[in-house]
Amino acid sequence: MSLRNIILLMTLGILSTATLANSSAEEKIKELEARLEALEYKSYESIATLNGSVKHTSVFFNLKDNAANTTDKYKRFKKHVISSKIDLNARPSDDVFLNTRLSMKKFWYNQAYESSDSKYYADKLTFGESRQGVTPSDSTVYMERVFIQWSFVPTWTLTIGRLPLSGGSPKGIMEGAPEDAPFHKFTMSEVNDGASLSKKHNLTNGDSLKFTLAYLPWGTFNVDTGSRITDSSYKDKSTDNQGVAVDTSDPIYIFITDYKTRNFSWVREFNFSFQYAKWFDVFLGPPASSNLRSSVDRHTWTFDLLGIVGSKFDLNFAYTHSETESSGAFAGGGLFCSQTATETCKVKGDAFMAIANYRATDKWGFGYLFLKNSSHNLLFDNDMDLGYILFMSPGGVNHIGYTNYRFNTYLTGALSLTMAKIKKRYAVSNLIGTEEDVDYNIDGLKFSLTARF
């Protein structure tokens, strides 16, 4: 019997008692009351919801080194990845929200060597990935997110913990999925711990305006987690390779303004976002071999024009400009420059992204993404969803054609083709250290199948 029926029956019961004053009806009401109370307590128990996704991704790509001799000219890569995310959300009271996300991601492989050959997964046991259960070394569980949100005053929200920062736009557009993070990938796409404060204004005409300030300190690893309090548990700061103390955490601030409206006649929905990120002397690299500190000023503007003139055609634009100042060096340079430990350098860069998206039917969409990135602009996607297909182009351009199809409400397939040109390469993570001019062409194909629940 549904809740509505129970309530209806009770209402009828209540009304009938007024006229009949019948003792059997009163007993019936009491019985219903007891059942409803049991249901009520059951609903208080079930405050948590469990949802998530399982995703398979295959990537095939060819790299053509135009400057190399014929034997090294072509490299081919083929990778299959399985990933899973399990979100446990709870809203124990109206003003408190909790999220915990467990996640895993691995390439398809079974055999790994405890070998010095870095091409193998040297940290795994031989055949370690063929076991049932994890490699029996420790009890590690990967918590991708874990945070508390508290709306201590209506419209004000404080978020603290390991924050939802990876998986932002434009990933969702290409895969027909909702965005998984509040920032555009130009601003930040990595998992960070920190805190944020946001204020949302619901305007009288239905528009919304939101301001967010996030503090995401870049933590450096000189905290001893010893089991008892001794002098060594409270280590002094580490020193870099020039003997200068390294701060345990360097501040990164991000400020966002989001505006959403459905009140324009020429577009179904219009979203605008301005995102400003500022890094203050963030230490990069292991202290024993680095004294690199970088400050970054980044301004990003994004525009979403969804359902233009009543059609199913969407346009998304994003532009970012960054100024990066590095002092010291790691692996032969700073961020996007070659330099020594005593030098400083300042570089500027920008990137532009445009997406034309068409939803041919409610199930099927396709589109085209264009990305142009200058050599010295900081784009870093640590989404680990084979994101290099998107941001592989310092000093180059990237063309991506994509399509996605919804087989049913909870199962989606996505396919994308990439053509990229790369003009620069850097020693560490393609961001830091010695700068090298290259001439690469990359053609790639990516396929994914995602089931959500």
Partner 1 sequence: MNLRRLCLFPVLFLSISNICNAASPKEAFVKSVVKQCKISKEEAMKLVSPGRTGTVITFKLCPQKTMTLKNGCIITCGKEGASL
Give 144 or 240: the residue with its C-beta nearer to partner 1.
144
202, HSE (Cβ side, Cα atoms, 13 Å) = 4
Distance CA 55, CA 451 (A): 6
Of 352 and 358, nearer to partner 1 (C-beta) is 358
C-beta closer to partner 1: residue 165 or 392: 165
Report in angstroms how near the CB of residue 99 gets to partner 1 at its nearest: 4
Minimal distance, residue 309 CB to partner 1, in Å: 14
Is the sign of the CA dihedral 36, 42, 47, 50 positive or negative? negative
User: In the complex, what is the shortest distance from the CB of residue 212 to partner 1, in angstroms, rounded to a whole number?
Assistant: 5
For the chain, counts of helices (H) and of strands (E): 3, 20
- Strand runs labelled E in 262-312: 267-284, 292-308
Cβ 181 to partner 1, closest distance in Å? 6
Please state the closest distance from residue 52 (CB atom) to partner 1, in A. Answer: 10
Instruction: Give 42 or 76: the residue with its C-beta nearer to partner 1.
Output: 42
Nearer Cβ to partner 1 (108/453): 453
Interacting residues toward partner 1 by CB under 8 A:
3-4, 7-8, 10-11, 14, 33, 36, 40, 43-44, 49, 51, 87, 89, 91, 94, 97, 99, 101, 145, 157, 159, 163-164, 167, 172-173, 176-182, 196, 198, 206, 212, 214, 262, 268-269, 306-307, 359, 362, 406, 408-410, 412, 452-453
**CA-closest candidate to residue 443, choices 20, 19, 61:** 61
Task: Name the residue nearer to partner 1 (CB basis): 26 or 436.
Answer: 26
Q: How far apart are CA 183 and CA 188, in angstroms?
A: 6
Q: Which two tokens stand for residue 423?
A: 């003009």
- Smallest gap from Cβ 1 to partner 1, in A, equals 14
DSSP at 185: T
- 374-412 per-residue burial string, b: 16 or more CB within 10 A, e: under 16: bbbbbbebbbbbbbbbbbbbbbbebebebbbbbeeeeeb
Enter the tokens of residue 413: 């397939």
What the block records as the tokens of 391 is 């941001």
Q: For residues 74 and 407, which CB has a smaller minimum distance to partner 1 in the complex?
A: 407
In angstroms, what is the minimal distance from the CB of 262 to partner 1?
A: 6
Cα–Cα nearest to 178, from 445, 407, 379, 452: 452
Q: What is the DSSP letter of 245?
A: B
DSSP state at residue 369 = E
Assess contact for 339 and 313: CB atoms under 8 A: no
Nearer to partner 1 among residue 193 and residue 325 (C-beta) = 193
Q: How far is the CB of 210 from partner 1 (least distance, A)?
A: 9
| CA–CA gap between residue 318 and residue 183 (Å, rounded) | 12
Q: How far is the CB of 235 from partner 1 (least distance, A)?
A: 32
Residue 76 structure tokens: 């081919």
Residue 118: CB minimum distance to partner 1, A? 35
Identify which of residues 56 and 268 has a Cβ nearer to partner 1 in the complex.
Answer: 268
* Dihedral sign computed on CA atoms, order 121, 127, 128, 133: positive
> What DSSP element (H or E) covers 174?
helix 171-175
Measured from the CB atom, the residue of 293 and 359 that comes closer to partner 1 is: 359
Category of 126 on φ-ψ map: left (φ > 0), alpha (ψ -120 to 50) or beta: beta
